[in-house]
Amino acid sequence: MTKICCIGAGYVGGPTMAMIAKKCPQVQVTVVDINEARIAAWQTDDLPIYEPGLLDVVKEARGRNLFFSTDVDQGIKDADIVFVSVNTPTKTFGEGAGCASDLQYWELCARRIKEVSTSDKIIVEKSTLPVRTAEAMERVLHAGDNPVHFEVLSNPEFLAEGTAIEDLECPDRVLIGGHQTESGQKALQALVDIYATWIPRERILTTNVWSSELSKLTANAFLAQRVSSINAISALCESTEADVADVAHAIGTDSRIGSKFLKASIGFGGSCFKKDILNLVYLCETYGLTEPANYWRSVVTMNEYQEARFVTTMLHSMFNTIANKRIAVLGFAFKADTGDTRESPAIKVCRKLASEHASIVVSDPKAMDNAKLEMPELADDIEFQEDVYKACDGAHAVAVLTDWKQYKDLDFQRIYDSMQKPAFIFDGRNMLDHDALYKMGFEVYSIGKGRKTHLK
């Protein structure tokens, strides 16, 4: 029986290993992590992350061929294949601060693998890493007098939170990079065979290691670029009375462009887009490619502008002051169907509202605990309310920041009746029926669509 160990039980490692275990009963999968609480949660029905469909997948394989453990060393020793899926956040110190990936956890894993391994292993990079990181890992693994041979592969994840199980079950592609050597190709084929258990072979792409590493960063950069591009147009639409939804539809019907990632909003969030773009910026700068670096940095700049512009619109619309006004923030997760709040636009929006002395109340169906952790400095200044109607009671304005489907079905007449007048609603996701809200009496503001106001 092939034995897999995955170091890291987070948003990538947990779901990916659960799907492999479900689809490959002949493979023993052990997920290890030093976080005892997280490992304990994976062994209950209250999983440490929220992802639609994940619990069913875990329950099908857990205890059969899917295991969770804090014994990292034993997991590594027993494994034939070790996936490294640890956090690689943006550096906040030293050279490359603000752009480069912080690889300290990744290097600690590499050193631990080398120290405890007693048999040859395939090491799979699952974390998002800079180009040529595999080369550095190989140098760590093979440093000194070590008889154990390690073959390093790149297998980046392309999961979207909220649809991760669908993405794992039926991916657009699986990408595996390996060395063009006999041992490299043998290791690559071993991983291909695992995925080929349920994924058509034509969707499993194989490249060299460096192309695989760069493809991950490039994919996220291109997706984020589309978001920033339509958001830039949304600002122009508001000034020219064009409708950004009409513009997006018109250009999206062009087969060369397509319609995905062309929905104007307050901006992108999550753990990947900003981090990966800044990583790409740092790589370009490292190789002296100033113009490409500036080009990709502008994608992040545009996103930050959109977040700030949203609050500026709120401030100016509400008579240039929101001090002591109750603002109900609906949604704190960076997108619907996840509890993940990392780099959520709601963080910057709430901080800017707080800087204007607004009275903020946050509501989210899945991200309340994470929301509290994101802004510890404002813990005493923000109210957290799970009940949406209580959050909106007495509010001067409602700001919709996450596109949860249930927000479309709220009783907005009830909300309007409970609010201070004039009652403002700022739809940061362009997901509500603006005409209906206007007829109820709301002052309606959206992204790239202008305003609907009763005020003269």
Q: Which helix (H) or strand (E) holds 432?
A: none
Both tokens of residue 97?
Answer: 């601060």
Distance of CA 321 to the CA centre of its chain: 33
Number of H helices, E strands in the chain: 17, 15
How far apart, in whole angstroms, are the C-alpha atoms of residue 240 and residue 238? 6
Both tokens of residue 138?
Answer: 């190989």
DSSP 3-state of 128: coil
Catalytic entry in 6, 24, 99, 272:
272
**Angle formed by the axes of helices 209-240 and 244-252, to 10°?**
140
272 is catalytic: yes
Q: Which residue has the tokens 């390996």?
A: 178
Residue 121 phi/psi, 5-degree rounding, is -145, 155
Own/partner long-range contacts of 242-245 (Cβ < 8 Å, ≥24 apart):
242/448, 243/448, 243/449, 243/450, 244/430, 244/447, 244/448, 244/449, 245/430, 245/448, 245/449
CA angle (58 as vertex; 53, 61 as ends), nearest 5: 135
How far apart, in whole angstroms, are the C-alpha atoms of residue 456 and residue 453? 8
Both tokens of residue 436?
Answer: 């209906």
Give DSSP secondary structure letters for 121-171.
Answer: EEEEE-S---TTHHHHHHHHHT-SS----EEEEE------TTSHHHHHHS-
Total residues belonging to the chain:
456
Catalytically active residues are 272
